[in-house]
Amino acid sequence: MRLNREFFSRSTLEVAKDLLGKELVYKGKRGRITEVEAYTMDEESCHAFGGVTPRSKVMYGPPGVSYVYFIYGMYHCLNFVTEEEGRGCAVLIRGVEPIEGLKGNTDGPGKLCRAFGIDKKDNGIDICSSDDFYIEDKRMQFEYQQTKRIGIKKAADLPWRFVVQ
C-alpha cells in the first residue's frame, strides 16, 4: 500500500518520524528510509523561511509532492512536502538502506540522490499519483533516535532529525 496525501498532510515532525522504515521507490529502484530531517517555514534553516521564491514554491504547494534542490555545485537532495497547502514545510530524506537496483553508497542526502538518479527533473512530482515514484508503507518494527540536524548553522539546536538505529 502506498502513502497517500493524507499521510503527508499531517505535522512535519510526525511525517518525518513515520517515514522511517518505509520503502522509497523510484523507477524500479528501492530503498528503505533510515534517516530524515524535518524543515518548516517557521524556522530559519528552512528554504521556505522568508516566503515564496522560485526555488521554494513547491514547498508551499500540496503535500505529497517531491522537492528536489541542487546544492554545493554537485549534489541534489530529495524532500517531500508536508502539511496543508500554503505552509512551506518538507522532510529531507538523508539515508536509505538499499533493497533493489541501487548502486553505490546510499548513506547521505547527496549520495542517495546519485544512487537513485534523482535530480532537478524530479522536482514537483506528485508521489501520491505517480506510477514510478512513490513510497510504500511497510509496517516495520525498529528503534529510532531523535537528534539535532546535520550540516546547518541556523536553528541548529532543534532535534528534528530521526535515524533508525
Nearest approach, Cβ of residue 73 and DNA (Å): 2
If one asks whether residue 60 binds DNA (CB under 7 A), the answer comes out as no
Contact region with DNA (CB under 7 A), list: 3-11, 26-34, 101-109, 122-130: 101-109
Q: Could you give the 3-state DSSP secondary structure of residue 165? A: coil
Q: Could you give the 3-state DSSP secondary structure of residue 143? A: coil
Nearest approach, Cβ of residue 25 and DNA (Å): 20
If one asks whether residue 151 binds DNA (CB under 7 A), the answer comes out as yes
Picking from 104, 96, 114, 111, the residue whose alpha carbon sits closest to that of residue 31 is: 96
Q: What is the DSSP string of 75-91?
A: EEEEEEE-SSTTS-EEE
If one asks whether residue 3 binds DNA (CB under 7 A), the answer comes out as no
If one asks whether residue 159 binds DNA (CB under 7 A), the answer comes out as no
| Minimum CB distance to DNA smaller for 1 or for 73 | 73
Nearest approach, Cβ of residue 48 and DNA (Å): 7
| Minimum CB distance to DNA smaller for 52 or for 99 | 52
Nearest approach, Cβ of residue 141 and DNA (Å): 27
Q: Distance of CA 9 to CAs 12, 27, 61, 62, 140, Å?
A: 8, 24, 11, 8, 22
